[in-house]
Amino acid sequence: MKIRKIAFITISFIFFSAAYSYSADVAKIGIIDFQRILETSSTGKTAQSEINEKGKNMETELKAKGAAIEELQKKLERDALVMSKEMREEKGREVRIKINDIKLLQQKYLSEFRGLENRLVTRIKNDVMDIVEEIGKKEGYLLIIEKAGVLYYPNAIDLTDKLIQLYNKKEADKKK
């Protein structure tokens, strides 16, 4: 009976001391919202305005070329009755070529637009990852994850605002 008591006390002591040692080393977990960083950081806002400006310029140019083609088609329709058959075919071919050219230009602009957007977002993402790594090492985080797949988390572990402040400060220091 005495051996059972000693064994029970020893096992209880080992169990509780092990539990205490694990609980003392709490795993810190953080969450970041990359979309919010893109929308609210100064670099993200600058990137968005650059992307929007480029998109508007492309759209304006495409609309102007489209209007010119429409005008050419209307002129062809008006003058079709007084033109010879060869002249109508020639003008019709010119319109089709211009329509094809504008479609190619639209594809080119779309590719350029996506490339610009991808480059800017990738640059921001790389800068943010450097800061996340720095925060993680300095403050002893076990894990910092992006919010995209997380269904619930307490606001206390959200590092987005802190990250935005550090990122804005880092970018301001670079500009100086």
pLDDT (0 to 100) of residue 53? 95
pLDDT (0 to 100) of residue 11? 54
Angle at 163 between CA 55 and CA 149, to 5 degrees: 75
Q: Smallest Cα–Cα separation from 168: which of 40, 23, 26, 10?
A: 40
Q: Which CATH superfamily is domain 25-175 in?
A: Skp domain (3.30.910.20)
Sketch the domain layout of the chain as residue ranges. Answer: 25-175
Note the pTM of the prediction, 2 decimals.
Answer: 0.70
User: Given the structure tokens 């509780």, which residue do they identify?
Assistant: 16
Average pLDDT, the chain: 85
In this predicted structure, the answer to whether residue 15 has a pLDDT above a threshold of 80 is: no
Q: Are 16 and 143 in contact (CB under 8 A)?
A: no
pLDDT tens track for 46-81? 999 999 999 999 999 999 999 988 998 888 888 877
- Mean pLDDT calculated for residue range 6-32: 59
In this predicted structure, the answer to whether residue 115 has a pLDDT above a threshold of 90 is: yes
In this predicted structure, the answer to whether residue 114 has a pLDDT above a threshold of 90 is: yes
DSSP secondary structure letters along the chain: -HHHHHHHHHHHHHHHHHHHHHHHSPPEEEEE-HHHHHHHSHHHHHHHHHHHHHHHHHHHHHHHHHHHHHHHHHHHHHHTTTS-HHHHHHHHHHHHHHHHHHHHHHHHHHHHHHHHHHHHHHHHHHHHHHHHHHHHHHHTEEEEEEGGG-S---GGGB-HHHHHHHHHHHHHHHH-
